[in-house]
Structure 1
Amino acid sequence: MPGPSASAAPFFTPPLRHPVHQFGATTLDFSRQVALMAIINRTPDSFYDGGATFALDAAVAASLAAVDDGADWVDIGGVPFAPGPALSAEEEAERVVPVIEAVSAASNVIISVDTFLPEVAVRSIAAGAHVINDTTGLSNPEMAAVVAESGAHLIITHSLAKPRTIFPRPRYDDVVSEVAVFLNEKVELAMSLGVPPEKIIIDPGHDLNKNTVHTLEITRRFNEIAALGFPSLAAVSNKDFIGETLNQDKSARLEGSLTTGVICILGGARILRMHNVAAANSTIRMTEAVLGWREPAYLKHNMGDVNEPAHI
């Protein structure tokens, strides 16, 4: 039996329509790198930190600390995805815009704002945001028009519920196929409203209106999402599917988050949205090196005339 092909690779290479994307002063080549997106929630009731970055100075400090820890990107949100009372566009903008202004003045990091309100998107882009992260899948098509006019990027995420409402017991015949169809339709809508394809990113929405079995299936078959041809985002950090799979609370889900992130990268993900930035940075950069996209920081082991003892 012949051995494995020399060209065989243990990962999926997505057929990206536009591998190279420009975000302000930053260029990312998604054909050979993975962007690390840090999560900054300026909410009093955020899923993970319970409001630790609600204060303006805390949110700005956390953003800049994430950059120091290796984040390529910070995602700033003023409203949780979880069901709850509506927040006015004015109040949401008051939460996110000052953070965007401060971070953009101090760093060239890519900045996205997690919002589904066109009014907030307008003010966020004017403040320095490069990307609108709409976790409601263009529930309001006006969002696409705002992004198209501004030249910003748009992240289109799969979710089924109306914003901040409950979607009880979601059902799918084939969750991955249905998510892919949804994303493809929303991409076509965005482009019809003027968003160029080189400004579009897609996200299958791990856990968003999906149970744990659904989300594990999306993770396992992530290549089918990446095959749509747009840079794909995996937002897996500390989510409930990890807790339910491993019987762990939020404080114990780091290893599960990192493992899931690597699986998604091997399936074609090119952006990871993570809370634990330093650990995620090491994980991503090691994965890039194994895939042949990144040189080691230095070479010393077994590089001299005399072999050194192995560290085992």
Structure 2
Amino acid sequence: MGILNITPDSFSDGGDFVSIERALEHAERMVAEGATIIDVGGESTRPGAEPVAEALEIERVVPVIEALASRIEAPISVDTSKPEVMRAAAGAGASLINDVYALRVPGALDVAAETGLPVCLMHMQGEPRRMQQQPQYADVVADVIAFLAARVAACEQVGIPRHRLLVDPGFGFGKTLAHNLTLLARLEQLAVLELPLLVGLSRKSMLGALTGRDVRGRVPAGVAAATLALARGAAIIRTHDVAATSDALRVYLAVAAIEC
């Protein structure tokens, strides 16, 4: 899954792809590099990020999704938590809802069910502006599993079937470095949910804490983390760095196929 942020303030690439033409060029480049899904977001969810009005988010993402739907064959995901953005994106050609709030915003469950689209439910403790202020867990893996299981049940109650759901443990969302490393080390335990697992580790601050690198220098660490995630059961890797990640995963999968 290649990341396409249509935002001025995302932590890694804010402002890089705010014009439709640049967004299209970048999406096409990511598909050529190996992305099989393009994830379009119009609101930054970095720590400390300010919320964006629903109308502005629609204004940012819908024209890009419409343009992408006519230019690329890869499915388009919309990275949003707002019900009306979900509805507008679905009408514009989005094929997946990727929600960091796991459909907890009022109205989101019903709208997601209405669209008929698959949904990725992510774990986050708190909300973006304050999520990194002393996050605490009894057991981070058990707590994440319990949260995601409850959100899956909420989806099923409004008529969203399990076969339309994915889950994301939410690396970096309300978690310390120790929490993130524990989640990655024990990622295979999320298999108990019996749902496809999406993982996003690309360029995140946990990689900076481990390596001392700035955002743009974290590609090797992100590739290593993505490969570890794949080995522990991830089905989809969400990344800014498609070419490097795709190459690493091809090597891993080629060797894994022989070992099996």
TM-score calculated relative to the size of structure 1: 0.79
Question: Relative contact order, CA 8 A, sep 6+: which one is greater?
Answer: 1
Greater mean deviation of Cα atoms: 201-210 or 57-66:
57-66
In the alignment, is residue 259 of structure 1 matched against residue 213 of structure 2?
Answer: no
Q: 8 Å contact 1:226–1:267 — kept in the other structure?
A: no
Task: Quote how far apart the aligned CAs of 1:54 are.
Answer: 1.6
Q: Which runs of 5+ in 1 are unaligned?
A: 1-36, 294-312
Report the counterpart of residue 61 of structure 1 in structure 2. Answer: 25
4+ residue stretches of structure 1 with deviation over 6 A?
none
Q: Distance in 2 between matches of 1:114 and 1:166?
A: 20
1:193-272 aligned within 5 A = 193-272=158-237
Aligned-residue Cα RMSD (Å) equals: 1.3
Q: Distance in 2 between matches of 1:232 and 1:105?
A: 28
Q: 8 Å contact 1:42–1:76 — kept in the other structure?
A: yes
Q: Distance in 2 between matches of 1:110 and 1:283?
A: 22
Q: Distance in 1 between matches of 2:179 and 2:106?
A: 27
Deviations 1:177-207 (A, max 9, x none): 1001000101110111111111100000001
1:7-18 aligned within 5 A = none
Q: Distance in 2 between matches of 1:148 and 1:113?
A: 15
In the alignment, is residue 281 of structure 1 matched against residue 231 of structure 2?
Answer: no
Report the counterpart of residue 43 of structure 2 in structure 1. Answer: 79
Task: Quote how far apart the aligned CAs of 1:148 are.
Answer: 1.7
Task: Quote how far apart the aligned CAs of 1:97 are.
Answer: 0.6
Task: Quote how far apart the aligned CAs of 1:60 are.
Answer: 1.5
Q: 8 Å contact 1:226–1:269 — kept in the other structure?
A: no
Deviations 1:94-123 (A, max 9, x none): 100111111110111011011000000000
Task: Quote how far apart the aligned CAs of 1:141 are.
Answer: 5.0
Q: Distance in 2 between matches of 1:98 and 1:79?
A: 15
Deviations 1:55-100 (A, max 9, x none): 2211121111111111000000000113333322111011001111
Q: 8 Å contact 2:40–2:76 — kept in the other structure?
A: yes
Which structure's CA Rg is the greater one? 1
Q: Distance in 1 between matches of 2:27 and 2:221?
A: 23
**2:65 aligned residue (55, 78, 100):** 100
Task: Quote how far apart the aligned CAs of 1:137 are.
Answer: 2.1
Q: Distance in 1 between matches of 2:174 and 2:51?
A: 18
The residue type paired with residue 43 of structure 1 is T
Q: 8 Å contact 1:113–1:121 — kept in the other structure?
A: yes
In the alignment, is residue 114 of structure 1 matched against residue 114 of structure 2?
Answer: no
Q: 8 Å contact 2:65–2:94 — kept in the other structure?
A: yes
Task: Quote how far apart the aligned CAs of 1:165 are.
Answer: 2.8
Q: 8 Å contact 2:5–2:14 — kept in the other structure?
A: no
Equivalent residue of 2:108, what SS?
helix
The residue type paired with residue 204 of structure 1 is P
**2:154 aligned residue (185, 189, 194):** 189
In the alignment, is residue 52 of structure 1 matched against residue 40 of structure 2?
Answer: no
The residue type paired with residue 218 of structure 2 is R
In the alignment, is residue 42 of structure 1 matched against residue 6 of structure 2?
Answer: yes
* CA distance 1:150–1:130, change in 2 (3 Å): same
Q: Distance in 1 between matches of 2:191 and 2:221?
A: 21
The residue type paired with residue 279 of structure 1 is A
The residue type paired with residue 119 of structure 2 is L
Q: Distance in 1 between matches of 2:201 and 2:240?
A: 9
**1:150 aligned residue (115, 122, 140):** 115
Q: Distance in 2 between matches of 1:86 and 1:220?
A: 32
Equivalent residue of 1:291, what SS?
helix
Report the counterpart of residue 88 of structure 1 in structure 2. Answer: 53
Q: Which runs of 5+ in 2 are unaligned?
A: none
Equivalent residue of 1:40, what SS?
strand
Equivalent residue of 1:113, what SS?
strand
The residue type paired with residue 107 of structure 1 is I
TM-score calculated relative to the size of structure 2: 0.95
Q: 8 Å contact 1:145–1:195 — kept in the other structure?
A: no
